[in-house]
């Protein structure tokens, strides 16, 4: 199974390039099979985020095997053995959650089996992302994703990594596999403000590089 991600260049910020360099070393040290792609920025953080489902589908088809998406500002605190667990052979899509159900799901990591159910799911995510870009000036890829997971809970077999598996920045412990990143790039901050997020919650969602 491949671990996949991309990062963008061309913005007036080197956050993602620094994270990419760190992730390459992190995966090399832990012997994680990483396919990390440099992409030219599409013009904004939001548009780059909304290109994620197309990238995942392209990589699923390119590698012809299951893939797990991770955000480029991820830090692996230990080898992600559960990515390769036999139990994942029984699911279409797997995600991490802060509680053991859909309500606490996170948009990274995301495991996709190499089957028609996951490919159809990704195709729908791509379509809705394109419509969101035409019709709205807020919402990222994950707001769409949360709604899709709820709609497809009867026709997709989901797997859930436990709450200790993937944690917020600064909250890792001996059980942590993934420590999330939360970028502080300016255009992300502006969209979050449009969504009504401010104060301590805004600061918590824009931690920056660790």
Mean pLDDT of 99-111: 84
The Cα–Cα gap between 3 and 110 comes to 10
- Looking at the domain assignment, is residue 130 inside a domain? yes
What range defines the domain where residue 62 resides?
2-180
- Looking at the domain assignment, is residue 196 inside a domain? no
Sign of CA dihedral 47, 192, 105, 3: positive
The Cα–Cα gap between 129 and 120 comes to 14
Q: What is the dihedral of CA 203, 168, 183, 43, to 10 degrees?
A: -120
pLDDT in tens, 115-170: 999 999 999 999 999 998 888 666 777 788 888 999 999 999 999 888 889 988 88
- Looking at the domain assignment, is residue 173 inside a domain? yes
- Looking at the domain assignment, is residue 192 inside a domain? no
Total structural domains within the chain: 1
Tell which residue, 53, 165, 158, 169, has the closest CA to residue 102: 158
Q: Are strands 67-69 and 105-112 parallel, antiparallel or unpaired?
A: antiparallel
pTM for this one?
Answer: 0.86
From the CB of residue 5, how many other CB atoms can be counted at a distance below 10 Å?
Answer: 26
pLDDT in tens, 185-197: 555 555 554 456 5
The Cα–Cα gap between 179 and 55 comes to 22
- Looking at the domain assignment, is residue 107 inside a domain? yes
Q: What is the CATH number of the domain that holds 152?
A: 3.90.550.10
């Amino acid at each position: 199974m491949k671990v996949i991600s991309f990062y963008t260049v061309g913005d007036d910020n080197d956050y993602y390039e620094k994270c990419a360099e760190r992730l390459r070393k992190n995966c090399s040290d832990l012997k994680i099979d990483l396919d990390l792609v440099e992409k030219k920025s599409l013009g904004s953080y939001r548009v780059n985020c909304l290109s994620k489902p197309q990238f995942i589908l392209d990589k699923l088809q390119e590698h012809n095997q299951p893939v797990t998406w991770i955000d480029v500002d991820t830090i692996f605190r230990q080898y992600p053995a559960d990515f390769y667990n036999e139990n994942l052979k029984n699911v279409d899509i797997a995600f991490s959650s802060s509680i053991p159900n859909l309500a606490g799901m996170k948009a990274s990591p995301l495991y996709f089996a190499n089957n028609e159910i996951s490919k159809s799911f990704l195709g729908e995510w791509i379509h809705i992302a394109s419509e969101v870009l035409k019709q709205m000036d807020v919402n990222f890829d994950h707001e769409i994703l949360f709604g899709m997971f709820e709609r497809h809970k009867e026709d997709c077999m989901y797997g859930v990594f436990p709450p200790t598996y993937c944690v917020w920045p600064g909250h890792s412990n001996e059980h942590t596999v993934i420590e999330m990143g939360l970028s502080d790039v300016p255009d992300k901050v502006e969209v979050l403000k449009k969504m009504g997020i401010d104060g301590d919650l805004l600061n918590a969602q824009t931690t920056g590089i660790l």
